Amino acid sequence: MKVLLVDDEPLARERLAVLLADIGGVDIVGGAGNGREALEIAARERPDLVLLDIRMPVMDGLETARHLGAWDSPPGVIFCTAYEDHALAAFEANAVDYLVKPVRGERLRAALDKARRLSGTRAHELAQAVDPGRTRTHLCARVRGSLVLVPIADIHYLLAEDKYVVVHHARGEVLIEEPLKSLEDEFEGRFVRIHRNCLVARARLAGLTRAPDGRLFANVDGVSAELEVSRRNLPGLRRLVRSL
Amino acid sequence: MQRRSATSGPAWLPQFCSGPTLFAVMVVAELVALVVVLAPEPQARVVLPRLGVVSVYVQWLALLNAVVLCSLRGVLGRLDTRGGYVVAWLVSLLVTALASAVVCRMDQALGLQLSVPVGEGRRFVFANAAICALIAAALLRYLFVLERWRERVRAAAKAQVDALQARIRPHFLFNSMNTIASLIRTRPAEAERTVEDLADLFRAALGAGEAPGTLGEELDLVRRYLHIERLRLGDRLVADVDVDDLPHDFVLPRLLLQPLIENAVYHGIQPRADGGTIVVRGRRSGDGVEIVIANPLPADAPAKRNGVALANVRARIGYHFGARADLRVEPGPDTYTVRLRLPETLAR
């Protein structure tokens, strides 16, 4: 069984590795210090199981599990945490298992057995179980098989096209398969709707320009494309621009 | 209450010999004199000269009462509150009556005509005693209620400070245990030292409500704490500590600095993928010390911390040092600085 170890503390990863070696039958495919690194390694190595710490810099364990769960044939997830977190309650049922640190060898063995039986089947449900109040720090996309993680702070605007949303960000653009509406709800306050098909990063909104034909366009820092503002979203947008 | 044991006497009776209380007594006495002078009476008299005479007399009575109550503090202290209340009231009544009788007799003997004509001495003494009885009753009752209220406030503050006693985050305990579990096989000596450090930290946390400690002990705890965190976070945590100038025998509540350092690690280092440097600087400042703790901010830091640890430390220094202690937060664009100033002496 291929296992990925994710914890921001090197000693904690070391301990898990020692315990797994004692148990045997496990191939450790890598160690990651945060969720972002974990997703990158997981995309490359395709582990069967991820041992995931909750509290980590850059991207925490819960968000990492959510991204993993959205993949095709996702790995199983076992959470490891130092201290009970009530945010975990919803996940406990859906994660393969949930271990508290310092992890006991026999508990880890039992969790591995469970993971072998269940494999990735629960991961999709795990992704679903994410508390709707939690917002992700990254959007996760696949480009020709490889993984692209876009930090929310780097996103300029989101444009809906057919069944995709195009994420325009500081280093290019990627397609994700998520409805614009759910993105708007999740990142409320971070993005502002200017059109039925477009959300703009509030922090980058610089002003409005009227074209000779009377149509209105939003000026967005770092964006040269013309983003049209719809009549319906205009009043709210005017108020926002005035308060800038 | 330990504070009171130093000055024997009942809780509800203020120190009448102390300056502020004497001043308050004189103010009340002067108000009484004004009331007496302003009260309408059959024969109109010039107000100002009469105010002078009445003031001198009332002030004299008031100070006499204060001195008597002050010297009787020890006796009153042996009675229960209610009994002491009654005795203090009777004493002031008696003092006023006696003093009035003496003044009246002297006035009549000298023929100054400042008090009352001959034959009305008995009425004069009675009236003075009655006025005194009313005012003393009101004043004593007021002092009693005031002291009760103060005691309640003090008890609440103490309870709050007790409840706020430095806590170490549970995460830290379990993470440290995990660190030790990792070290036991590979680096047993390091594991041993970590257990010792952790024991010292928790001993300090459990005893934090008791006697104050010294800055030297506190800096030791900070060093032990940082040692554990460095093991846990590896290269991500760099500590730049320069506190050589600080007096090691400076007295302060236990576990005052460690929570601030823990905050810096928790909010400043842990959320950063590449960690950072915590800067601690300490120096003497005037008659006290100044300690500055700075940490880098993570890229996507929440605009406002909930500030539990800061509020805790602020409440504790307020309780122990009074208004001269100060904890200031200086949030910068990419560093977060906390400046702690403590005056020389503990208030209690």
**Tokens read off for B231:** 């093991």
How high is the mean pLDDT of chain A? 86
Q: Is residue B348 part of a domain?
A: no
Contacts of B344 (CB under 8 A, 6+ apart): B250, B287, B288
pLDDT tops 70 at residue A177 = yes
- Among residues B70, B63, B67, which one has the least CA distance to residue B13? B70
Contacts of A193 (CB under 8 A, 6+ apart): A184, A199, A200, A233
Minimal CA separation from B3 to chain A, in Å: 41
Residue B5's pLDDT is 37
Q: Is residue A102 part of a domain?
A: yes
Q: Which of A34, A100, A102 sits opposite B181 (nearest CB)?
A: A102
Segment B16-35 shows an average pLDDT of 83
Number of domains observed in the structure of chain A: 2
Asked which of B117, B138, B164 is the last residue of a domain, the reply is B164
Q: Which of B178, B181, B273 sits opposite A57 (nearest CB)?
A: B273
Lowest mean pLDDT of A36-50, A76-90, B133-147, B230-244, name the range.
A76-90
Residue B36's pLDDT is 80
Asked if the Cβ–Cβ distance from B182 to A100 is below 8 Å, we say no
Chain A contact probe: residue of B172, B174, B178, B194 with most A CBs at under 10 A: B178
Residue B347's pLDDT is 46
B273–A contact, CB cutoff 8 A: yes
User: Which chain A residues are closer than 8 Å to B233 by Cβ?
Assistant: 8-9
Q: B12 vs A46, which has greater pLDDT?
A: A46
pLDDT in tens, A199-213: 999 999 988 888 898
pLDDT in tens, B321-346: 877 889 999 888 889 999 999 998 65
What is the Cα–Cα distance from A25 to A1, expressed in whole angstroms? 7
B301–A contact, CB cutoff 8 A: no
**Tokens read off for B280:** 């601690």
Minimal CA separation from B301 to chain A, in Å: 11
Helix (H, G, I), strand (E, B) or coil at A226: coil
Q: Is residue A138 part of a domain?
A: no
Residue A232 carries which DSSP code? Answer: T
Minimal CA separation from B225 to chain A, in Å: 16
B211 and B180 share a domain?
yes
Q: A153 vs B84, which has greater pLDDT?
A: A153
B187 and B275 share a domain?
yes
What is the Cα–Cα distance from B262 to B269, expressed in whole angstroms? 10
Q: Which residues constitute the domain of residue A117?
A: 2-128
Given a contact cutoff of 8 angstroms between Cβ atoms, the answer to whether A40 and A67 are in contact is no
A106 and A35 share a domain?
yes
A41 and A113 share a domain?
yes
3-state SS of chain B is CHHHHCCCCCCCCCCCCCHHHHHHHHHHHHHHHHHHHHCCCCCCCCHHHHHHHHHHHHHHHHHHHHHHHHHCHHHHHCCCHHHHHHHHHHHHHHHHHHHHHHHHHHHHHHCCCCCCCCCCHHHHHHHHHHHHHHHHHHHHHHHHHHHHHHHHHHHHHHHHHHHHCCCCCHHHHHHHHHHHHHHHHHCHHHHHHHHHHHHHHHHHHHCCCCCCEEHHHHHHHHHHHHHHHHHHHHHHEEEEEECCCCCCCCEECCCCCHHHHHHHHHHHHCCCCCCEEEEEEEEEECCEEEEEEEEECCCCCCCCCCCHHHHHHHHHHHHHHHHHCEEEEEECCCEEEEEEEECCCCCC
Residue A121 carries which DSSP code? Answer: G
Q: Is residue A66 part of a domain?
A: yes
A101 and A189 share a domain?
no
pLDDT tops 80 at residue A126 = no
ipTM: 0.74
- Paired with A167 in beta bridges are A158, A174
User: Which chain A residues are closer than 8 Å to B273 by Cβ?
Assistant: 33-34, 36, 57-58
Q: How confident is the model at residue B255 (pLDDT cuts 50, 70, 90)?
A: confident
**Tokens read off for A179:** 């409805």
Residue B308's pLDDT is 76
Asked if the Cβ–Cβ distance from B177 to A102 is below 8 Å, we say yes
pLDDT in tens, A64-102: 888 888 888 888 888 888 876 655 655 655 667 888 889
Asked if the Cβ–Cβ distance from B181 to A15 is below 8 Å, we say yes
Q: Which residues constitute the domain of residue B239?
A: 170-342
Q: What are phi and psi of B282, to 5 degrees?
A: -130, 140
Q: A234 vs B167, which has greater pLDDT?
A: A234
pLDDT tops 70 at residue A10 = yes
A10–B contact, CB cutoff 8 A: yes
A9–B contact, CB cutoff 8 A: yes
Residue type, B123: R
A64 and A109 share a domain?
yes
What is the Cα–Cα distance from A5 to A112, expressed in whole angstroms? 13
pLDDT tops 60 at residue B163 = yes
Residue A124's pLDDT is 60
- Paired with A210 in beta bridges are A216
Q: Is the dihedral of CA B170, B171, B173, B177 positive or negative?
A: positive
A119 and A162 share a domain?
no
B204 and B157 share a domain?
no
pLDDT tops 70 at residue A137 = yes
What is the Cα–Cα distance from B232 to B117, expressed in whole angstroms? 93
- State which of B47-51, B234-238, B254-258, B304-308 shows the largest mean pLDDT: B234-238
Asked if the Cβ–Cβ distance from B175 to A18 is below 8 Å, we say no
B176 and B160 share a domain?
no
User: Which chain B residues are closer than 8 Å to A82 by Cβ?
Assistant: 171, 174-175, 178
A105–B contact, CB cutoff 8 A: no
HSE at residue A186, side-chain half, CA atoms within 13 A, is 17
pLDDT tops 80 at residue B94 = yes
Question: Which residue carries 């310092």 as its tokens?
Answer: A102
A91 and A183 share a domain?
no
Given a contact cutoff of 8 angstroms between Cβ atoms, the answer to whether A31 and B246 are in contact is no
Q: Is residue A109 part of a domain?
A: yes
Q: Is residue B78 part of a domain?
A: yes
pLDDT in tens, B312-327: 888 888 888 877 889 9
Asked which of A128, A144, A167 is the last residue of a domain, the reply is A128
B130 and B176 share a domain?
no
Residue A85's pLDDT is 64
Residue B181's pLDDT is 94
pLDDT tops 80 at residue B156 = no
A79 and A191 share a domain?
no
Asked which of A128, A161, A178 is the last residue of a domain, the reply is A128
Q: How confident is the model at residue B260 (pLDDT cuts 50, 70, 90)?
A: very high
User: B102, exposed or middle or buried, with CB in 10 Å at 0-12, 13-18, 19+?
Assistant: exposed
pLDDT tops 50 at residue B119 = yes
Q: How confident is the model at residue A107 (pLDDT cuts 50, 70, 90)?
A: very high
B206 and B135 share a domain?
no
Residue A127's pLDDT is 60
Residue B60's pLDDT is 86
A61 and A162 share a domain?
no
Q: Is residue A140 part of a domain?
A: no
Q: Is residue B332 part of a domain?
A: yes
Number of domains observed in the structure of chain B: 2
Residue B348's pLDDT is 43
Given a contact cutoff of 8 angstroms between Cβ atoms, the answer to whether A99 and A80 are in contact is yes
Q: A86 vs A36, which has greater pLDDT?
A: A36
Given a contact cutoff of 8 angstroms between Cβ atoms, the answer to whether B259 and B266 are in contact is no
Q: Is residue A111 part of a domain?
A: yes
Residue type, B69: L
Segment B142-163 shows an average pLDDT of 76
Asked which of A83, A113, A128 is the last residue of a domain, the reply is A128
* A to B CB pairs, distance under 8 Å: 62
What is the Cα–Cα distance from B110 to A86, expressed in whole angstroms? 88
How high is the mean pLDDT of chain B? 82
Asked if the Cβ–Cβ distance from B182 to A58 is below 8 Å, we say no
pLDDT tops 80 at residue A43 = yes
Q: Is residue B176 part of a domain?
A: yes
pLDDT tops 70 at residue A132 = no
Residue B88's pLDDT is 85
Cis peptide leading into residue A47 (ω within 30°): no
Residue B84's pLDDT is 81
Q: Is residue B347 part of a domain?
A: no
Residue B7's pLDDT is 43
Chain A contact probe: residue of B177, B182, B237 with most A CBs at under 10 A: B182
Record the pTM.
0.67
Q: How confident is the model at residue B54 (pLDDT cuts 50, 70, 90)?
A: confident
B328 and B301 share a domain?
yes
Asked which of B145, B164, B183 is the last residue of a domain, the reply is B164
B300 and B212 share a domain?
yes
A222–B contact, CB cutoff 8 A: no
User: Which chain B residues are closer than 8 Å to A9 by Cβ?
Assistant: 175, 178-179, 232-234
A8–B contact, CB cutoff 8 A: yes
Asked which of B102, B131, B164 is the last residue of a domain, the reply is B164
Q: Is residue A146 part of a domain?
A: no
pLDDT in tens, B202-232: 888 887 667 788 999 999 999 999 999 999 9
Residue B231: closest C-alpha in chain A:
A11
- Among residues B240, B336, B329, which one has the least CA distance to residue B294? B336
Q: B143 vs A231, which has greater pLDDT?
A: A231
**Tokens read off for A134:** 């939690």
- The CATH number that applies at residue A226 is 2.40.50.1020
Chain B contact probe: residue of A5, A13, A15 with most B CBs at under 10 A: A15
B82 and B103 share a domain?
yes
